[in-house]
Chain A
């Protein structure tokens, strides 16, 4: 897993890229507003060899042509103080498919996920540049209220983190603070619906007033998912939701992700490549703060275009 430390920062050999990718690169280097933005940025330590083409943009464009992305990131970079954690990430997330972010530890995939609902705002030294849109609206813009954004873009964390309150209160908290229910029975309906969608209702319906922390790890994580969907978000971000769970609980969460697909746009960070292959339709491979490759999951895992992707998915490093 920690092989990345031994990896040279600069690839020693140019990555063989198909001609389509080179064309895409040429397309990418066309002057654009986003380019100007990136020039205004303070110079940060960067790899000083020309970067290999990040992904086969045209093929993804072909795949997703004519569809409105739910969220789109354009040349997003994140700095922690002087250290650049993410470099010019451009990615799109669609309503009807699960997008998986894979990559070795510390490659920035969680950082990127946390940009999407501005959780990085809570880290004082973090600075985000570039543009991220939700339904074509800039999430960092002055018209966007961060609290509402986080309700619209829900999040499930790596470690199950239910509130130390009852199961009911855990799920009811979001609707309550956002005033989504007019009375008790409505609130109860929301809680029941959310727990049913999270596949937890049958297990907890008789003990809604017991503590959420008394559940098993997998149940806690499904409770967290229920809590996230209780405010009826448009996007759900999952940050390694299964890394603290056993295989059976993991299978349940994956099944749940399948069921939630279509209703919510889902982005999931995972360390587990099999999981990415199982649950996602799009996969993005991050390495050292860069988006190395983005494409159809089946293509990434069977026919990666980048050498680094091949190395990673075949277990050469990471």
Chain B
């Protein structure tokens, strides 16, 4: 008996079987590692390309310009610029003409158009801040037009390259952080365009989505899981919700267009409507995640609470929901991340309009970051290329911050049992 056993566990057939088992295990872990390496590679590729292209969007080129206000025909009296109407008065003056004349004087006629619309704003602000500069000659650093910017950073057209070369000889070029990109809204001028309007629009839209989808989704999940009787109706509802989560987002856009805009006459292009449309799309995801999270709460906790005489509602809201919250939040993060990156349904309800001012509220026209990226990527002006990538970075950071917050909240609620 003993000899038979020994020969069985140590003979060649057995050894081969053991070797094959080890080989299979090695193959499996190699495949797993390869899959992970591939996804890390993709991620690294994505991040490096976006960073390489987009980081330039946060920096702009400025050129030095000395303006002798005495020689311009601005007709601005410094004494009249101390009142509250100063900004308006300055805006009425021909600052653009003054800049272009001064530039032509300093760097030759080719330089007349080297400054952008942003430069005009900057000059206006400088005058309002200190009207006394109007009496003499002042050196100012002003942002250049986007063709010059591209020539300075990368490779532009021949004329711009020549001008840049000349400016560099005069030591009249520098790079600085483009605060305007973060504070301005969309513009036809690439050098003056910023993401603030789209960022605010995104924030308001996500706020509306969150405010609608989270409570409705969670309550629906709680009701379906804890209170609803098990019958054909609830089965039908469950199937519909699961299907709703798989409906292409453009269809939600059409629904939003038909119901919110045409039927309810809500304002077009507004974060309110965008948020409502995205809430329709996000809610099923939250319901499904919420139901799964509620299902994982151990029945012993429900028994314990019922056993001391808690009502069904007390059991649900004192015990089940707090314990399910981390899971619900995970589902919400996924749903909100999807809503945050959604473009198609928002195009349908008019959020692709050109909006040059940040939205004042949820009912005023706005655009959102993904739509802004989509719009900029369509622009002919080369200055928008790096703006597009820069906006992608802003969108990713926004998403990262939002998810970080949600994960932080989830971990705070997380409890072991």
Is the C-beta of B416 less than 8 angstroms from some C-beta in chain A?
Answer: yes
* Nearest CB of chain B from residue A238's CB, rounded to whole Å: 11
Is the C-beta of A151 less than 8 angstroms from some C-beta in chain B?
Answer: yes
B415 touches A150 (CB 8 A): no
Residue of B nearest to A173 (CB): B308
Is the C-beta of B301 less than 8 angstroms from some C-beta in chain A?
Answer: yes
Residues of B with C-beta under 8 A to A149 = 309
Known A161-B301, A163-B319: A228·B417 in contact at CB below 8 Å: no
B415 touches A164 (CB 8 A): yes
Residue of B nearest to A156 (CB): B307
Q: Which of B301, B302, B304, B308 touches A231 (beta carbons < 8 Å)?
A: B308
In the complex the two chains form, what is the Cα distance from A197 to B319 in whole Å? 25
Q: How large is the interface on B (under 10, 10 to 19, 20 to 34, 35 or more residues)?
A: 20 to 34
In the complex the two chains form, what is the Cα distance from A230 to B230 in whole Å? 35
Q: Which of A161, A178, A213, A227 touches B303 (beta carbons < 8 Å)?
A: A161
Return the CB mask of B23-34 against A: 1 if under 8 Å, else 0: 000000000000
Residue of B nearest to A114 (CB): B303
Residues of B with C-beta under 8 A to A77 = none
B304 touches A162 (CB 8 A): yes
Q: Which of B300, B306, B318, B417 touches A150 (beta carbons < 8 Å)?
A: B306
Residues of B with C-beta under 8 A to A230 = 308
Instruction: Tell me which residues from 12 to 28 in chain A have a Cβ below 8 Å from any Cβ of chain B.
Output: none
Residues of A with C-beta under 8 A to B302 = 122
In the complex the two chains form, what is the Cα distance from A117 to B323 in whole Å? 25
* Nearest CB of chain A from residue B116's CB, rounded to whole Å: 59
B307 touches A157 (CB 8 A): yes
Residues of A with C-beta under 8 A to B303 = 119, 122, 155, 157, 161
Q: Which of B230, B305, B311 touches A163 (beta carbons < 8 Å)?
A: B305
Is the C-beta of A10 less than 8 angstroms from some C-beta in chain B?
Answer: no
B308 touches A164 (CB 8 A): no
Is the C-beta of B135 less than 8 angstroms from some C-beta in chain A?
Answer: no
In the complex the two chains form, what is the Cα distance from A279 to B311 in whole Å? 32
Is the C-beta of A73 less than 8 angstroms from some C-beta in chain B?
Answer: no
Is the C-beta of A147 less than 8 angstroms from some C-beta in chain B?
Answer: yes
Residue of A nearest to B314 (CB): A177
Is the C-beta of A154 less than 8 angstroms from some C-beta in chain B?
Answer: yes
Is the C-beta of A174 less than 8 angstroms from some C-beta in chain B?
Answer: yes
B416 touches A154 (CB 8 A): no
Q: Which of B304, B309, B310, B415 touches A157 (beta carbons < 8 Å)?
A: B304
Return the CB mask of A163-178 against B: 1 if under 8 Å, else 0: 1100000000110011
In the complex the two chains form, what is the Cα distance from A248 to B415 in whole Å? 29
Is the C-beta of A89 less than 8 angstroms from some C-beta in chain B?
Answer: no
Which of A119, A147, A227 has the largest count of B CB atoms less than 10 A from its CB? A147
Q: Which of B305, B307, B311 touches A117 (beta carbons < 8 Å)?
A: B307
B309 touches A177 (CB 8 A): yes
* Nearest CB of chain A from residue B341's CB, rounded to whole Å: 35
In the complex the two chains form, what is the Cα distance from A122 to B314 in whole Å? 14
In the complex the two chains form, what is the Cα distance from A241 to B89 in whole Å? 85
Return the CB mask of A131-167 against B: 1 if under 8 Å, else 0: 0000000000000000111111011110101111000
Q: Which of A124, A147, A224, A228 touches B310 (beta carbons < 8 Å)?
A: A147
B319 touches A231 (CB 8 A): no
Known A119-B307, A164-B323: A213·B301 in contact at CB below 8 Å: no
Instruction: Tell me which residues from 71 to 117 in chain A have a Cβ below 8 Å from any Cβ of chain B.
Output: 117
Q: How large is the interface on A (under 10, 10 to 19, 20 to 34, 35 or more residues)?
A: 20 to 34
Is the C-beta of B229 less than 8 angstroms from some C-beta in chain A?
Answer: yes
* Nearest CB of chain A from residue B295's CB, rounded to whole Å: 15
Which of B306, B307, B310, B323 has the largest count of A CB atoms less than 10 A from its CB? B307
Chain B interface main SS type: helix
Q: Which of A122, A124, A151, A159 touches B308 (beta carbons < 8 Å)?
A: A151
Instruction: Tell me which residues from 284 to 319 in chain B have a Cβ below 8 Å from any Cβ of chain A.
Output: 298, 300-311, 314, 318-319
B304 touches A124 (CB 8 A): no
Residues of A with C-beta under 8 A to B307 = 117, 119, 150, 154-157, 228
Return the CB mask of B307-348 against A: 1 if under 8 Å, else 0: 111110010001100010000000000000000000000000
Residue of A nearest to B323 (CB): A164
Residue of A nearest to B319 (CB): A163
In the complex the two chains form, what is the Cα distance from A309 to B417 in whole Å? 39
* Nearest CB of chain A from residue B142's CB, rounded to whole Å: 61
In the complex the two chains form, what is the Cα distance from A156 to B415 in whole Å? 22
Residues of B with C-beta under 8 A to A156 = 307
B309 touches A164 (CB 8 A): no
Residues of B with C-beta under 8 A to A178 = 309
Residues of A with C-beta under 8 A to B230 = 124
A150 touches B309 (CB 8 A): yes
Q: Which of B300, B318, B323 touches A159 (beta carbons < 8 Å)?
A: B300
A177 touches B300 (CB 8 A): no
In the complex the two chains form, what is the Cα distance from A154 to B229 in whole Å? 27
Residues of A with C-beta under 8 A to B319 = 163
Which of B229, B302, B303, B314 has the largest count of A CB atoms less than 10 A from its CB? B303
In the complex the two chains form, what is the Cα distance from A117 to B308 in whole Å? 10
A154 touches B304 (CB 8 A): no
Residues of A with C-beta under 8 A to B229 = 124
* Nearest CB of chain B from residue A264's CB, rounded to whole Å: 14
Residues of B with C-beta under 8 A to A147 = 309-311
* Nearest CB of chain B from residue A191's CB, rounded to whole Å: 13
Which of A151, A173, A174, A228 has the largest count of B CB atoms less than 10 A from its CB? A173
A148 touches B416 (CB 8 A): no
B301 touches A148 (CB 8 A): no
In the complex the two chains form, what is the Cα distance from A293 to B22 in whole Å? 59
A174 touches B301 (CB 8 A): no
* Nearest CB of chain A from residue B310's CB, rounded to whole Å: 6
* Nearest CB of chain A from residue B302's CB, rounded to whole Å: 7
* Nearest CB of chain A from residue B416's CB, rounded to whole Å: 6
Residues of B with C-beta under 8 A to A228 = 307-308
Known: A173-B310, A173-B318. 6 other contacts (CB 8 A): A124-B230, A161-B303, A161-B304, A163-B301, A174-B309, A213-B416
Which A residues form the contact surface with B (CB < 8 A)? 117, 119, 122, 124, 147-152, 154-157, 159, 161-164, 173-174, 177-178, 213, 224, 227-228, 230-231
* 15 A–B pairs (Cβ distance < 8 Å), ordered by A: A124-B229, A147-B310, A149-B309, A150-B306, A151-B308, A152-B309, A154-B308, A155-B303, A157-B307, A163-B304, A163-B305, A173-B308, A177-B309, A227-B304, A230-B308
Closest 7 CB pairs of A and B: A151-B309, A174-B308, A161-B300, A155-B307, A150-B309, A164-B415, A164-B417
